[in-house]
A and B are shown apart, each in its own frame.
Chain A
Amino acid sequence: MLGRTWPDILDKLFNDYADVIVRRNHNPVEHELIYRTNDVGASTRGTPKATWAGNP
């Protein structure tokens, strides 16, 4: 396991970031459903939510 160095690992991290952004951009509704399934942040529900597509 030793010999694993930071540049490769960080490249993978930024690829993961990109994947999350793409998934979120392409499936905002699906992601909102995931959130609601797990949501316990009821106090925030009254806050207007921008969809990703409509996010300023």
Chain B
Amino acid sequence: MKIGFVTETFLPRIDGVTQTLCHVLRHAAARGDEAIVFAPKGAPPEYSGFKVIPVTGIPFPPYPDFKLISPFTNIGPRLRAFAPDLVHVLNPVMLGAGAIVRARNMGMPVVASYHTDLPGFAKRWNLGAFNAILSWYLKTIHNLADLNLCPSTITIEALKKEGYQRLQMWSRGVDTVRFNPEKRSSAWRNRLTIGHSESPLLLYVGRLGHEKRIDWIKPALEALPGARLAIVGDGPARSSLERMFAGTPTSFIGSLTGEDLAAAYASADVFVFAGANETLGNVILEAMASGLPVVAPRSGGLLDHVTDGETALLFDPDSPGSRCGNLVARHRSDACTSIR
């Protein structure tokens, strides 16, 4: 099979879309398929033996590592020369939207996958009319595809109500060999706690962006006297978060990958997450595979994977009265003594 992939985010930026595409490309290589990837300039020239075609964009001011790429970028000749059996467009917004139209016009079957709840972010940030326009635009783009893949049942239901068509579940996996409680390491626990390895350790892993609402984790930390917090990841909100968490027992570890990341997960006690617009939540899966209970909002795709009161404590994503700090405070005896 020959597959053309089009993505608006790829390495070196690491996010859910990039991780998913890397899995798909490795799998395609293992199957002996052929592939080509159209990705923002700055990506490696090839991945898993497949050529990556760089596409020029301009940095999106709030997130400079995310590139805005015109939907009118003409990838048609390269796509036609490759002659794929199918084109898979991941998270189409700009470049992806243009790619769907071009692939259609060349008679190529098109699969689109929905990864990011942009209208949800717009709504949460009170962007009013823009939210309605964005919702209509994304629906229109996706409805040009032969198949629309969604990562969670809650996302499928939401998109169905909005009028998206040809929806199908595309769940995600977790590498249980890599992410495993057996990766727990006293050296990593020491590093994450800065030498206070006896203290209960909360862990956040993910992009340090404002949309992740990492500031909401601070009350959870304060509700657990003696507990520490390790924040793994990087992003545009890092400096403001470092200021906000100054004076608290919080360590900013930076980005981790591979075995280091697996050891960090397994060496913590509780995974805390506050982002309310996740269509899946890869980090939740990785944390759970590493043996961690989860504190997270009752919202988004993670609801496919957690059971409130059993594998997770869920809080109302919109109600200040039940933010994760209060939740953890109510459960702190359990959280401190029986979580591991």
Using CB atoms and an 8 Å cutoff, list the residues of chain A in contact with chain B.
1-11, 13-14, 16-18, 20-21, 23-24, 28, 31, 35, 38-41, 44, 47, 49-52, 54-56
Q: Of the candidates B104, B173, B288, which one forms a contact with A6 in the assembled complex, judged by CB atoms under 8 Å apart?
A: B173
Cross-chain contact B140 with A40 (CB below 8 angstroms): yes
Q: Of the candidates A4, A13, A23, which one forms a contact with B146 in the assembled complex, judged by CB atoms under 8 Å apart?
A: A23
Whole-angstrom distance between the Cβ of A9 and the nearest chain B Cβ: 5
Cross-chain contact A24 with B146 (CB below 8 angstroms): yes
Q: Knowing A7-B27, A38-B144 touch, does A49 contact B107 (C-beta < 8 A)?
A: yes
Q: Which residues from A are CB-within-8-Å of B304?
A: 1
Residue of A nearest to B304 (CB): A1
Cross-chain contact A10 with B27 (CB below 8 angstroms): yes
Cross-chain contact B165 with A17 (CB below 8 angstroms): no
Q: Of the candidates B80, B85, B105, B140, which one forms a contact with A47 in the assembled complex, judged by CB atoms under 8 Å apart?
A: B105
Q: Which residues from B are CB-within-8-Å of A41?
A: 101, 104, 144
Q: Which residues from A are CB-within-8-Å of B130?
A: none
Cross-chain contact A17 with B1 (CB below 8 angstroms): yes
Residue of B nearest to A48 (CB): B105
**Distance, CA A3 to CA B88, complexed state (A):** 26
**Distance, CA A7 to CA B175, complexed state (A):** 9
Within 8 A of A (CB), among B86-131: 86, 88, 101, 104-109, 111
B255 on interface, CB distance cutoff 8 Å: no
Whole-angstrom distance between the Cβ of A50 and the nearest chain B Cβ: 4
Cross-chain contact A5 with B173 (CB below 8 angstroms): yes
Q: Which residues from B are CB-within-8-Å of A7?
A: 27, 173
The 5 A-B pairs with the shortest beta carbon distances in the complex, nearest first, are A6-B173, A10-B27, A55-B107, A24-B109, A50-B107
**Distance, CA A18 to CA B147, complexed state (A):** 12
Whole-angstrom distance between the Cβ of A51 and the nearest chain B Cβ: 6
Cross-chain contact B104 with A35 (CB below 8 angstroms): yes
**Distance, CA A21 to CA B83, complexed state (A):** 13
Whole-angstrom distance between the Cβ of A36 and the nearest chain B Cβ: 11
Residue of B nearest to A8 (CB): B173
B23 on interface, CB distance cutoff 8 Å: yes
Whole-angstrom distance between the Cβ of B268 and the nearest chain A Cβ: 17
Cross-chain contact A5 with B176 (CB below 8 angstroms): yes
Cross-chain contact A6 with B109 (CB below 8 angstroms): no
